[in-house]
Structure 1
């Protein structure tokens, strides 16, 4: 079960890497509001009938019982996160976007420790540090100190806000684990479309600037990051928890480098080395959770709490 969860999370990040590549291209043809609206409109058209066919949900009952949670996650993790990401990509590069997104695991683990009372083992921490060093190796082309001399701009600041929103979404979405997964994503996508529609008039669409690449990019965004990534990510969180799942986000810059090669860029040795470091760090952390033993912090917490014969949950 956990092995399947790690596969889901890896695929989610692969599709999100494509989101940075295609998103950069799409925002040259479509304003950010339109890019976000069209992305989730396409996703809604696919997800709603898919949910009805496979899960046969009682839409009204689910909404009545969970409307507050669904609305919050739709606005924070879908509407604002997507809109901020595409706005940022108009001012910064996909590489800078990958670097800032690599901060997500640290933010999620920090928030999980503060609000979910999650526990972190020593080896999980080592794996997280290794993965982050691998990310820096990929993005700095082997010159780690070069990260401190990187030029940051308005887009980087916007992406940093988006990282915090995504961390909040991932933590709170744990509370939606009782909902059918496809139905849940369909709800959030549809609500985003409704909320974004009035905003379309703020950034009028210039049809003269639309190209075949832009249209292809929007279709990709609507299918893979919107449907594939969200379904895989939510399932991974349901099984592993947000803190553990966040480790795989360090793979996104590696996938971004690979996709860049496929679009004609040269793959550097530093990117290969950094990718290996990222994967080793992720597997190290994954191996800890796959084992039957308890983390160091769990054992200490159990000893001092006086709990006998019962395992403490890692998240709520």
Structure 2
């Protein structure tokens, strides 16, 4: 969701502004990593599709007083792109979150954070396939290194999984979710010419609307779990934190230090995710987790720093 806002161009704030940006962007990565823990804690407290719908209901309810007037003012620009917005909100927000939360019942918080942290490199590959965006050899190397890290995470270091294709169901759901979000991110290139706040509000509404049929299907299948007290706390966190607060923090951070420097803080998501998995979720941190983390972060550094530096 972080690409949903389009901040004003330029960098401001000097040294104090940079310090504020570092703090805001670090908190943003921590909130995104916390979303993985929330998905794990949600198991048995609220069903995945109920969590997805209620998350966007909370987000829309909070956004409405601030964004309604702006959306009405820019509606004529949004209306021709309503189908694109519906598809982007449905795939990038609704289905992505539904798969992400469903994966929480079948895989670890560490893996969820690793897959989430690998998305910038997945976006790089999808952008090349969709728009033939120039990619350097070093960026290709970064994609391969990160992909190897994802393979290690998905197989838990057991090469026999590759021979039998006996992947964890949750890891496969995460892979599909990341591919959908990468497609959504690439589609942002052709977004309507409206303000970032208006576009995000439209996407949030699209996510809410497209989540309702899935919620009905979950109820019809007898799998609906209405939130417990803990479930409502989780809904409040994901509706306010990953959906809204982190977006504002990231937008402000980009305004202060620019998109290239701010983007590096995405690399903290798998780091924070691994730390939260051990300290909060009580998961063991194994050797294969460490290897996967090193490969994912190494690949991102190669692709985004070394690769872009050479390409520029």
TM-score, normalization by structure 1? 0.70
Say if 1:159 and 1:288 are closer, same or farther in 2 by CA, change over 3 A.
closer
CA deviation digits over 1:126-179, x for unaligned, max 9?
Answer: 666666677789x69xxx982535773222222221111011001101222732
1:227 aligns with 2:238: no
Say if 1:135 and 1:192 are closer, same or farther in 2 by CA, change over 3 A.
closer
Work out which of the residue numbers 196, 206, 214 in structure 2 matches 1:181: 196
Say if 1:168 and 1:6 are closer, same or farther in 2 by CA, change over 3 A.
farther
Work out which of the residue numbers 142, 148, 155 in structure 1 matches 2:159: 148
TM-score, normalization by structure 2? 0.70
Give unmatched runs, 5+ long, in structure 2.
Answer: 1-9, 12-17
Separation of aligned partners in 1, 2:171 and 2:285: 24
Q: How does 1:88-237 map to 2 (within 5 A)?
A: 88-125=103-140, 146=157, 148=159, 152-176=167-191, 178-204=193-219, 205-207=224-226, 210-230=227-247
What secondary structure is seen at the aligned counterpart in 2 of 1:119? coil
Q: Residue 38 of structure 1 corresponds to which residue in structure 2?
A: 54
Q: Residue 274 of structure 2 corresponds to which residue in structure 1?
A: 257
CA deviation digits over 1:261-306, x for unaligned, max 9?
Answer: 442648869778986886676566555588xxx735x7xxxxxxxx
Separation of aligned partners in 2, 1:187 and 1:56: 8
Q: Residue 309 of structure 1 corresponds to which residue in structure 2?
A: none
Say if 1:22 and 1:249 are closer, same or farther in 2 by CA, change over 3 A.
same
Say if 1:5 and 1:284 are closer, same or farther in 2 by CA, change over 3 A.
farther
Q: Is the 8 A contact 1:258 1:267 kept in 2?
A: no
Q: Residue 40 of structure 2 corresponds to which residue in structure 1?
A: 24
What secondary structure is seen at the aligned counterpart in 1 of 2:211? helix
Separation of aligned partners in 2, 1:226 and 1:130: 30
Separation of aligned partners in 1, 2:178 and 2:121: 10
Work out which of the residue numbers 58, 74, 79 in structure 1 matches 2:73: 58
Say if 1:218 and 1:68 are closer, same or farther in 2 by CA, change over 3 A.
same
CA deviation digits over 1:213-235, x for unaligned, max 9?
Answer: 32211111101111234566789
Count of paired positions: 284
Separation of aligned partners in 1, 2:160 and 2:266: 24
What secondary structure is seen at the aligned counterpart in 2 of 1:146? coil
Say if 1:275 and 1:107 are closer, same or farther in 2 by CA, change over 3 A.
closer
Q: How many angstroms does 1:93 deviate by?
A: 2.6
Q: How many angstroms does 1:5 deviate by?
A: 9.2
Separation of aligned partners in 1, 2:117 and 2:149: 10
Q: Is the 8 A contact 1:29 1:214 kept in 2?
A: yes
Say if 1:285 and 1:25 are closer, same or farther in 2 by CA, change over 3 A.
same
Give unmatched runs, 5+ long, in structure 1.
Answer: 299-316
What secondary structure is seen at the aligned counterpart in 1 of 2:105? coil
Q: Is the 8 A contact 1:40 1:192 kept in 2?
A: yes
